[in-house]
Amino acid sequence: MKAQALHGHLDALLLAVLEQGELHGYAVIEALRARSAGQLDLPTGTIYPALRRLERAGHVASSWSTVNGRERRTYRLTDSGRASLAGERAGWREFSATVGRFLDPAGPPATPA
Protein backbone atom coordinates (compact mmCIF):
# COMPACT_ATOMS: atom_id res chain seq x y z
CA MET A 1 0.00 0.00 0.00
CA LYS A 2 1.40 3.37 -0.99
CA ALA A 3 2.40 5.20 2.15
CA GLN A 4 1.37 8.77 1.50
CA ALA A 5 -2.14 7.70 0.52
CA LEU A 6 -3.10 7.87 4.19
CA HIS A 7 -2.67 11.64 4.22
CA GLY A 8 -5.47 13.21 6.20
CA HIS A 9 -7.12 9.94 7.20
CA LEU A 10 -4.73 8.74 9.88
CA ASP A 11 -6.45 10.61 12.68
CA ALA A 12 -9.74 8.92 11.81
CA LEU A 13 -8.07 5.50 11.89
CA LEU A 14 -6.56 6.16 15.29
CA LEU A 15 -9.87 7.35 16.70
CA ALA A 16 -11.53 4.25 15.23
CA VAL A 17 -9.16 1.81 16.93
CA LEU A 18 -9.44 3.65 20.23
CA GLU A 19 -13.21 3.53 19.94
CA GLN A 20 -13.12 -0.14 20.85
CA GLY A 21 -11.17 0.39 24.04
CA GLU A 22 -8.15 2.23 25.41
CA LEU A 23 -4.74 1.22 24.14
CA HIS A 24 -1.14 2.33 24.51
CA GLY A 25 0.80 3.52 21.46
CA TYR A 26 2.56 0.29 20.65
CA ALA A 27 -0.72 -1.60 20.94
CA VAL A 28 -2.34 0.88 18.55
CA ILE A 29 0.25 -0.05 15.94
CA GLU A 30 -0.46 -3.75 16.47
CA ALA A 31 -4.22 -3.18 16.36
CA LEU A 32 -3.93 -1.37 13.04
CA ARG A 33 -1.78 -4.15 11.64
CA ALA A 34 -4.13 -6.86 12.88
CA ARG A 35 -7.40 -5.28 11.81
CA SER A 36 -6.04 -4.44 8.36
CA ALA A 37 -4.63 -7.93 7.81
CA GLY A 38 -1.12 -6.51 7.61
CA GLN A 39 -1.92 -3.72 5.16
CA LEU A 40 -1.25 -0.98 7.68
CA ASP A 41 2.17 -1.41 9.26
CA LEU A 42 2.88 2.09 10.50
CA PRO A 43 6.18 3.14 12.09
CA THR A 44 6.37 4.58 15.60
CA GLY A 45 7.52 7.88 14.10
CA THR A 46 4.09 8.14 12.55
CA ILE A 47 1.91 6.92 15.40
CA TYR A 48 3.42 8.62 18.44
CA PRO A 49 3.37 12.15 17.05
CA ALA A 50 -0.15 11.57 15.72
CA LEU A 51 -1.41 10.50 19.13
CA ARG A 52 0.19 13.57 20.71
CA ARG A 53 -1.54 15.70 18.08
CA LEU A 54 -4.89 14.12 18.91
CA GLU A 55 -4.25 14.75 22.58
CA ARG A 56 -3.41 18.40 21.98
CA ALA A 57 -6.66 18.62 20.02
CA GLY A 58 -8.53 17.13 22.95
CA HIS A 59 -9.76 14.06 21.06
CA VAL A 60 -7.90 11.59 23.28
CA ALA A 61 -6.56 11.64 26.83
CA SER A 62 -3.59 9.69 28.17
CA SER A 63 -2.30 8.28 31.42
CA TRP A 64 0.96 6.58 32.36
CA SER A 65 1.29 3.16 33.88
CA THR A 66 4.05 0.63 34.39
CA VAL A 67 3.57 -2.94 33.17
CA ASN A 68 6.41 -5.44 33.63
CA GLY A 69 8.86 -2.62 34.18
CA ARG A 70 7.80 -1.02 30.88
CA GLU A 71 6.42 2.51 30.87
CA ARG A 72 3.17 2.77 29.00
CA ARG A 73 1.15 5.77 28.00
CA THR A 74 -2.40 4.60 27.55
CA TYR A 75 -4.78 6.59 25.38
CA ARG A 76 -8.57 6.70 25.53
CA LEU A 77 -11.18 8.52 23.48
CA THR A 78 -12.77 11.65 24.90
CA ASP A 79 -16.30 12.81 24.13
CA SER A 80 -14.79 15.30 21.75
CA GLY A 81 -12.93 12.45 20.09
CA ARG A 82 -16.08 10.44 19.72
CA ALA A 83 -17.80 13.38 18.08
CA SER A 84 -14.82 13.95 15.83
CA LEU A 85 -14.84 10.30 14.82
CA ALA A 86 -18.47 10.56 13.75
CA GLY A 87 -17.56 13.52 11.58
CA GLU A 88 -14.55 11.72 10.15
CA ARG A 89 -16.70 8.75 9.26
CA ALA A 90 -19.15 10.97 7.40
CA GLY A 91 -16.26 12.71 5.68
CA TRP A 92 -14.75 9.39 4.69
CA ARG A 93 -17.98 8.17 3.15
CA GLU A 94 -18.31 11.35 1.13
CA PHE A 95 -14.68 11.25 0.08
CA SER A 96 -14.63 7.58 -0.90
CA ALA A 97 -17.88 7.92 -2.81
CA THR A 98 -16.55 10.92 -4.71
CA VAL A 99 -13.17 9.44 -5.57
CA GLY A 100 -14.73 6.05 -6.22
CA ARG A 101 -16.94 7.61 -8.85
CA PHE A 102 -13.79 8.28 -10.85
CA LEU A 103 -11.70 5.28 -9.91
CA ASP A 104 -14.14 2.41 -9.46
CA PRO A 105 -15.32 0.93 -12.74
CA ALA A 106 -18.91 0.45 -11.52
CA GLY A 107 -19.30 4.09 -10.55
CA PRO A 108 -22.12 6.06 -12.21
CA PRO A 109 -21.06 9.31 -13.93
CA ALA A 110 -22.71 11.52 -11.31
CA THR A 111 -25.28 11.28 -8.56
CA PRO A 112 -27.62 14.26 -8.83
CA ALA A 113 -27.84 16.19 -5.57
Question: Which residues sit at the interface with a second copy, rule CB under 8 A?
Answer: 1-2, 4-9, 12-13, 16-17, 34-40, 88-89, 91-96, 98-105, 109-113
| DSSP state, residue 89 | H
Nearer to a second copy, 37 or 67 (CB): 37
CB atoms within 10 A of CB 57: 13
Q: Which is nearer to a second copy, 10 or 61 (CB)?
A: 10
Q: How many Cα atoms sit within 13 Å of 46 on the Cβ side? A: 17
Site for DNA contains 39 (CB under 7 A): no
* Backbone Cα Rg of the chain: 16
Q: Are 80 and 87 in contact (CB under 8 A)?
A: no
Is 53 near DNA (CB under 7 A)? yes
CA distance linking residue 53 with residue 51, whole number of Å: 5
Among 46, 63, 96, 98, binds DNA (CB under 7 A): 46
Q: Binding segment for DNA among 47-55, 78-86, 88-96, 104-112 (CB under 7 A)?
A: 47-55
- What, of DNA, a second copy, none, does residue 112 touch, CB below 5 to 8 Å by kind? a second copy
Q: What's the one-letter identity of residue 11? A: D
CB of 63 to DNA, least distance (A): 10
- SS3 call for 25: helix
